[in-house]
């Protein structure tokens, strides 16, 4: 009797199970995009890597990352990208650059930083940099950055509002600082003008999902204490980031010791500039006290290996800085005179190798550490780690897909080693920022790069002529 009842119950449940299975499929969660089949390098806190991995996107954010089978069962996407055999990683973060300077790429190289700035670049900028120049320079640079897998960059230049508009149109994420400097700049001729321009700029972009408008006092050697304090006060009024060059040259350190009786970092600490809203480029000439201050103040520091080498500025003590608990990201600087390109793949490679040779120790900084500096640590450096820097649910959908079907990418034993020491920017095939595709299978979707290149050549003729005057 009992057995018969169980049998009857099973008969009744059977079709019910089948029914609930179909319902489960019907009830797949909606997603806008699924990328599947890739080797997914997440850079999450446990540094998960999924061999046949997938990522689901809804709106501008990642909703899930995991094995392809799991993600494809759970989500029903509007759009799919089959990334079988490819590599997916977080978009790279260029923590320090001056992108419109691409139009002066190669104009004058192989001179000292002081000469380069004062004899060539500042005069060339005074004669050539207009809003139109900044727009075309930005477009060219944005195309180059997208092609290299960069999804976020921090910039210091002039006419930064025009640069912000171009960045927004291209779909990249930017921390964009209007430069304050104690001489008439191409855009603003006095501190009053700088302050008025910057305040308008900060107000305009408040709350924008892609653009973080910032204030960029150039450095302690080009800004008075008043300029530095005023720039910081204005930034803090609007909760905006502060971008500045710090301890970049030995001359800067010597002059600061003489003039301020303090290192550049300790001088900035004394005048209340340092804080968790500051991004300091370079931090080369720093001692242990400086490192402790920078760590305690949660200042983001950006290492620029190409620039350190090209200008022979010295080598930032990145290994010690990381050990001291500092937030250390990676940048290209330049792209004129101090690097000449915006290639973050190359910068990771150089970052690791520069620390190795500097410490005569191949263990000094490894591939994984270099990739951290260009992704999750880069995000911490810009104080954006809650939004970007890794591929995990809740973060913005900013990522790059790289082709592994090239001789230099085969075989692959260690994914970090491959990314940093073997793969090139040319392997970047698809780039997505905030869920929007900017580069698809090698085709740029948001920037007219042919037109930007034509304009760049026209500008080169103009710039060369003004320098000969
Ligand atoms: Zn710089």
The rounded Å distance from CA 454 to ligand 1 centre is: 26
E strands along 126-196, which residues? Answer: 150-157, 173-180
Percentage of the residues of the chain whose pLDDT score is greater than 90: 88
The rounded Å distance from CA 333 to ligand 1 centre is: 5
Q: Is the pLDDT of residue 84 over 70?
A: yes
- Residue 310: per-residue pLDDT: 94
The rounded Å distance from CA 443 to ligand 1 centre is: 30
CA distance 372 to 14: 51
The rounded Å distance from CA 288 to ligand 1 centre is: 23
The rounded Å distance from CA 414 to ligand 1 centre is: 33
Q: Is the pLDDT of residue 346 over 70?
A: yes
- Residue 112: per-residue pLDDT: 87
Q: Which pLDDT tens digit goes with each residue over 17-32?
A: 444 444 555 689 999 9
- Cα dist from 180 to 159, 192, 242, whole Å: 11, 11, 11
The rounded Å distance from CA 40 to ligand 1 centre is: 32
The rounded Å distance from CA 406 to ligand 1 centre is: 34
Count of alpha carbons within 13 angstroms of residue 237, beta-carbon side: 13
- Residue 115: per-residue pLDDT: 87
E strands along 278-357, which residues? Answer: 278-282, 300-303, 327-330
The rounded Å distance from CA 140 to ligand 1 centre is: 18
Mean pLDDT of the chain: 94
The rounded Å distance from CA 336 to ligand 1 centre is: 10
The rounded Å distance from CA 97 to ligand 1 centre is: 6
The rounded Å distance from CA 330 to ligand 1 centre is: 12
Dmax over CA atoms of the chain, in Å, equals: 108
The rounded Å distance from CA 207 to ligand 1 centre is: 26
The rounded Å distance from CA 216 to ligand 1 centre is: 11
Residues 310, 350: contact at Cβ < 8 Å?
A: no
Q: Which pLDDT tens digit goes with each residue over 226-284?
A: 999 999 999 999 999 999 999 999 999 999 999 999 999 999 999 999 999 999 999 99
- Residue 25: per-residue pLDDT: 52
The rounded Å distance from CA 331 to ligand 1 centre is: 9
The rounded Å distance from CA 226 to ligand 1 centre is: 21
Residue 206 has a CB neighbour count (10 Å cut-off) of: 12
The rounded Å distance from CA 459 to ligand 1 centre is: 22
The rounded Å distance from CA 284 to ligand 1 centre is: 13
User: Cis peptide before 411, with omega less than 30 degrees from 0?
Assistant: yes
The rounded Å distance from CA 300 to ligand 1 centre is: 14
The rounded Å distance from CA 98 to ligand 1 centre is: 7
CA distance 185 to 181: 7
- Residue 86: per-residue pLDDT: 98
The rounded Å distance from CA 455 to ligand 1 centre is: 24
Residues 215, 201: contact at Cβ < 8 Å?
A: no
The rounded Å distance from CA 154 to ligand 1 centre is: 10
The rounded Å distance from CA 247 to ligand 1 centre is: 11
Please list all protein residues whose beta carbon sits less than 5 angstroms from ligand 1, which is an ion: 333
- Residue 27: per-residue pLDDT: 85
The rounded Å distance from CA 281 to ligand 1 centre is: 7
The rounded Å distance from CA 246 to ligand 1 centre is: 10
The rounded Å distance from CA 65 to ligand 1 centre is: 36
pTM of structure: 0.94
The rounded Å distance from CA 347 to ligand 1 centre is: 15
CA distance 45 to 459: 45
């Amino acid at each position: 009797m009992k057995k018969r009842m169980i049998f009857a119950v099973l008969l009744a449940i059977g079709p019910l199970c089948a029914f609930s299975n179909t319902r489960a499929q019907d009830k797949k969660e909606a997603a806008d995009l699924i990328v599947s089949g890739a080797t997914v390098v997440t850079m999450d806190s446990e540094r998960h890597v999924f061999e046949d991995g997938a990522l689901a996107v809804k709106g501008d954010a990642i909703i899930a990352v995991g094995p392809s089978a799991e993600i494809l069962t759970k989500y029903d996407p509007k759009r799919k990208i089959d990334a079988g055999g490819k590599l997916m990683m977080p978009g790279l973060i260029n923590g320090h650059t001056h992108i419109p300077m691409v139009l002066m790429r190669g104009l004058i190289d192989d001179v000292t930083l002081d000469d380069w700035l004062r004899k060539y670049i500042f005069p060339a900028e005074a004669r050539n940099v207009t809003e139109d120049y900044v727009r075309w320079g930005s477009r060219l640079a944005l195309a180059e950055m997208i092609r290299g897998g960069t999804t976020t960059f921090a910039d210091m230049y002039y006419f930064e509002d025009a640069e912000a508009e171009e960045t927004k149109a291209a779909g990249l994420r930017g921390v964009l600082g209007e430069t304050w400097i104690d001489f008439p700049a191409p855009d603003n001729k006095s501190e009053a003008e700088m302050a008025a321009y910057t305040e308008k700029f900060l107000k305009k972009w408040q709350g924008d999902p892609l653009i973080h408008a910032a204030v960029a006092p150039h450095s302690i050697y080009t800004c008075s204490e008043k300029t530095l304090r005023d720039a910081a006060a204005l930034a803090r009024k609007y909760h905006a980031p502060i971008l500045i060059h710090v301890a970049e040259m030995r001359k800067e350190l010597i002059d600061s010791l003489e003039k301020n009786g303090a290192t550049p970092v300790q001088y900035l600490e004394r005048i209340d500039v340092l804080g968790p809203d500051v991004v300091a480029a370079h931090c080369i000439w720093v001692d242990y006290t400086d490192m402790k201050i920078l760590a305690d103040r949660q200042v983001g520091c950006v290492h620029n290996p190409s620039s350190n080498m090209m200008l022979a500025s010295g080598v930032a003590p990145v290994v010690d800085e990381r050990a001291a608990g500092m937030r250390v990201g990676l940048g290209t600087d330049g792209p004129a005179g101090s690097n000449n390109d915006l290639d973050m793949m190359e910068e990771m490679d150089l970052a690791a190798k520069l620390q190795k040779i500097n410490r005569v120790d191949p263990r000094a900084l490894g591939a994984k550490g270099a990739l951290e500096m260009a992704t999750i640590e880069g995000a911490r450096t810009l104080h954006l780690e809650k939004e970007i820097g890794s591929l995990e649910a809740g973060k913005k959908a900013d990522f790059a897909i790289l082709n592994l079907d090239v001789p230099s990418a085969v075989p692959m034993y260690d994914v970090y080693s491959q990314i940093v020491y073997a793969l090139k920017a040319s392997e970047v095939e698809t780039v997505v920022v905030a869920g929007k595709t900017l580069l698809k299978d090698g085709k740029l979707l948001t920037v007219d790069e042919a037109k930007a290149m034509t304009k760049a050549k026209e500008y080169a003729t103009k710039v060369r002529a003004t320098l000969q005057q």
